[in-house]
Structure 1
């Protein structure tokens, strides 16, 4: 496991360097090499994580495993899109997250988590984590959108700036929000339909925060479609939603596993 984790860190590190070192260059980074390095990181990350999650005929979701799985989903999505994606400013941040996810498997203790083999529960958890990964990427786009918008207001963005156009970033942000919203809707629906005790004492906070995030993103998409939305409002909605989902999926578990033990 450590060999694959180290290979993942090296792969992500090389991909980060290849993209970040040429990010503001007029010709941009070598996307082919960066994609290959990122793919090495993703494959190694998956090889290291698989035996940690799949055990005793079920899936083991500790805090470390869950966080690392989310990072794997994010880096996989970005690596697959890297050859053709227009906005690559967020890519270095994604590979840094991948490095943390891979390093955490080696450096952080494996506390007890959830072990289950129910297909319905697996579907619910899988789509929940996938939606979170998409919304996390959207949050990175929102941060980039805020940076470009601030530069435009301060008139610090040159005509030949390597940064992407504001409208391009905004368009991709809403595409990601729509994808994440569909996944989150499916995740909540499977939870309500198939899982007993979805509002039980152990799951209530997750359901409440995830439902609140669903309302935030739903309101964001509705307002954008019906009357448009200012960039500042879009950024606030995006960041609020991902914070709520973080509290839903990791808040209680973080306190229990890291501080209570």
Structure 2
């Protein structure tokens, strides 16, 4: 089966779910959580099928720039849907469903880079899994921080929109933000540790920039969590540190991958 059909089906379902949620919120209504979850699960089913066909080959795991972006979007949406079972984070889906739609289409239609297939040794698979989960959790944290920023701004100016009225209290939103940050930082720690253990000569294989920037991001998130615990950091300061760490992490992975595959062709 060609990956085109599941890719288009996933994009259609993501777009439909985003449109439904956006219309309900614009009308100051509350989207049906079960319908959102159903649309999201169906989209993930087709998204996962297209990813499997695009990434697996006889030579190994094909994890080029757009496949990697699609895989991380898949992980982020999956983690968010699972989180919705216990905590009120369904408003994040309004940002994530369009992201899923965009990345699944880019992975299908954009030209592939020059990355070499990855041999699927168990240690390497574990490192990739931990990395994707870490990026996913920290992406959710960044989106959550932007919603906290929007909520704080509208509450201070006393003009809450229909979207904000569906949010939990600001203190709850900040608690969720730091919960995601803790989870993402711990997974990033395990990812770096697994890379040191299972990747031979970590600073070769064009991985030096990725490794160094990832370590800087780890330090930024560690300082942020220390500041929250020891100094009570919150609000704009916490959001600035979150965005700084995330930018370093995205430069580490997507920046280096973009340069290697589409500029240097290595």
| Range into which the TM-score falls when normalised by the shorter chain | over 0.9
Q: May I ask how many residue pairs the two structures share in their alignment?
A: 261
Name the counterpart of 1:71: 73
Query: Are 1:22 and 2:32 matched, yes or no?
Result: no
Aligned to 2:90, the other structure's residue is in SS state coil
Task: Identify the range of structure 1 (182-191 vs 196-205) with the bigger mean alpha-carbon deviation.
Answer: 196-205
Name the counterpart of 2:177: 173
Name the counterpart of 1:54: 56
Task: Identify the range of structure 1 (118-127 vs 82-91) with the bigger mean alpha-carbon deviation.
Answer: 82-91
Name the counterpart of 2:156: 153
Give distance in 2, aligned partners of 1:107 and 1:235. 34
Label 1:54 to 1:228 Cα distance change in 2 as closer, same or farther (>3 A): same
Query: Are 1:219 and 2:223 matched, yes or no?
Result: yes
TM-superposed deviation, 1:260: 4.3
TM-superposed deviation, 1:58: 2.4
Contact kept, 8 Å, 1:23 with 1:89, in 2: the verdict is: no
Give distance in 1, aligned partners of 2:95 and 2:203. 35
Query: Are 1:140 and 2:143 matched, yes or no?
Result: yes
Please report the TM-score for the alignment, with normalisation by the length of structure 1: 0.93
Name the counterpart of 1:164: 168
Label 1:136 to 1:15 Cα distance change in 2 as closer, same or farther (>3 A): same
Give distance in 2, aligned partners of 1:112 and 1:149. 44
Name the counterpart of 1:229: 233
Give distance in 2, aligned partners of 1:78 and 1:43. 15
Contact kept, 8 Å, 1:57 with 1:117, in 2: the verdict is: no
Contact kept, 8 Å, 1:35 with 1:79, in 2: the verdict is: yes
Give distance in 1, aligned partners of 2:89 and 2:41. 19
Unmatched tracts of structure 2, length 5 or more: none
Aligned to 2:62, the other structure's residue is in SS state strand
Give distance in 2, aligned partners of 1:89 and 1:107. 29
Please report the TM-score for the alignment, with normalisation by the length of structure 2: 0.91
TM-superposed deviation, 1:173: 0.4
Unmatched tracts of structure 1, length 5 or more: none
Give distance in 2, aligned partners of 1:24 and 1:168. 23
Aligned to 1:61, the other structure's residue is in SS state coil
Contact kept, 8 Å, 2:134 with 2:184, in 1: the verdict is: yes
C-alpha root-mean-square deviation of aligned residues, in Å?
2.0
Give distance in 1, aligned partners of 2:161 and 2:36. 27
Contact kept, 8 Å, 2:80 with 2:90, in 1: the verdict is: no
- 1:112 corresponds, among 111, 114, 123, to 114
State the 4+ residue runs in structure 1 displaced beyond 4 angstroms: 24-27
Contact kept, 8 Å, 2:137 with 2:184, in 1: the verdict is: yes
Name the counterpart of 2:6: 4
Contact kept, 8 Å, 1:14 with 1:34, in 2: the verdict is: no
Give distance in 2, aligned partners of 1:158 and 1:67. 31
Give distance in 2, aligned partners of 1:226 and 1:83. 31
